[in-house]
Structure 1
Amino acid sequence: MKLILTQEVTGLGAPGDVVEVKDGYGRNYLLPRQFAIRWTRGAQREIDSIKRARSVRDIRSLEDAQQVADQLKGVQVRLASKVGDNGRLFGSVTAADIAAAVKDSGGPDLDKRRIEVRNPIKTAGRHEVSVRLHPEVSATLEFEVVKG
């Protein structure tokens, strides 16, 4: 099955990429979650608009990605959240919360879709997340969730 990705799918591609996947994966996972659309000749215009939007958002080059990764290492990020008596949060910390906290701490402006929160963050303390800055550059961001 030939599809056009509308969102970044880890291990498969970025928005605007034309990929060939097995029928079941496309029909049961990518299409229902709107990660992709079916490829047609008329969809080429859609690919072009997605790639234009992505080029505006993306970090331009490998050197820029390395600079942003270095900036992330030097930023002390503290995220204030409501915390119960036993140290558990009311709710959880999302990628959008992390991106806003990095910007508030004087760090670079990150796209929340590039922040990978593998396990839900539901406790106060120090945590790590991975940030995909470029296909070849990934950075680890350490931050602290404090009572606030």
Structure 2
Amino acid sequence: MDVILIKDMKNLGEAGAIVSVNRGYARNYLIPKGFAREATKSNIKIKEWEKQQLSLRKNKEIREAKNVAHTLKKLSITLRCEVGESEKLYGSVQAGDIVEALANEGITLTKKQILLEEPIKTLGIYNIPIAIHPEVESKVKIWVVKK
């Protein structure tokens, strides 16, 4: 019996794949548990339509991420921080500070998207990488200056 996998199955394949299995395995386990559905003509058409919609949605997300990346490349953010005698910061600049500064510029990101290897502890100019989308990365220029 042919079935369309709804979820990834370790020994059968990835979601969306059409696989042949024993009729009893399909009727007693895969279909009732929601792991697969029978591969009828209508279900195959539905699978193709869902695949097409997913592709369109993914392309739209990538386009929007590229627009944000283009905006970030042009952007330069200044963070004013308190410093001590040797030009070292009291505390540090972390991903949350960068997210907050970007929010003030109208760009909404999460801390996880800021790829800051370690907190910034000195004054200077930094190019911080940002993962906007799994397939799109950009950098933003951060100026850390004294208050």
TM-score range, shorter chain: 0.5 to 0.7
Distance 2:118 2:140 in 1: 14
Identical columns (%)? 35
**3-state secondary structure, aligned to 2:137:** strand
Larger Rg over CA atoms: 2
Q: RMSD of aligned C-alpha atoms?
A: 2.0
Q: How does 1:1-148 map to 2 (within 5 A)?
A: 61-104=61-104, 106-148=105-147
Whether contact under 8 Å (1:75, 1:107) holds in the other structure is no
Question: Could you tell me the TM-score, scaled by structure 1's length?
Answer: 0.56
The whole-number CA distance in structure 2 between the counterparts of 1:131 and 1:138 is 6
Q: Report the AA paired with residue 81 of structure 1.
A: C
In structure 2, C-alpha distance between the alignment counterparts of 1:132 and 1:88, rounded to whole Å: 28
The aligned amino acid for 2:145 is V
Structure 2: runs of 5+ lacking an equivalent: 1-7, 11-32, 34-59
Summarize the Cα distance change of 1:72–1:107 in structure 2 as closer, same or farther, 3 Å threshold.
farther
Return the letter of the residue paired with 1:140: K
| 1:71–1:108 contact (8 Å) kept in structure 2 | no
4+ aligned runs moved over 2 Å, structure 1:
none
Q: What is the aligned residue count?
A: 91
Q: For 1:113-147, what per-residue CA distance to the aligned partner results, in whole angstroms no more than 9, with x for missing partners?
A: 11011132100110121111111101111110111
Distance between the aligned counterparts of 1:120 and 1:103, measured in 2?
19
**What are the Cα deviations for residues 50-107 of structure 1, in whole angstroms up to 9, with x where unaligned?**
xxxxxxxxxx610000000011112120011111122110111110101111222x24
1:22-47 deviation line (CA, Å, top 9, x unaligned): xxxxxxxxxxxxxxxxxxx9xxxxxx
Q: Which amino acid aligns with 1:141?
A: V
TM-score (norm 2): 0.56
For 2:118 and 2:100, the matched residues in 1 are separated by: 19
**AA at the equivalent of 1:64:** E
Structure 1 residue runs of 5 or longer lacking an equivalent are 1-17, 21-40, 42-59
Counterpart of 1:85, as a letter, is E
2-structure distance, mates of 1:92, 1:64: 31
More helix by share: 2
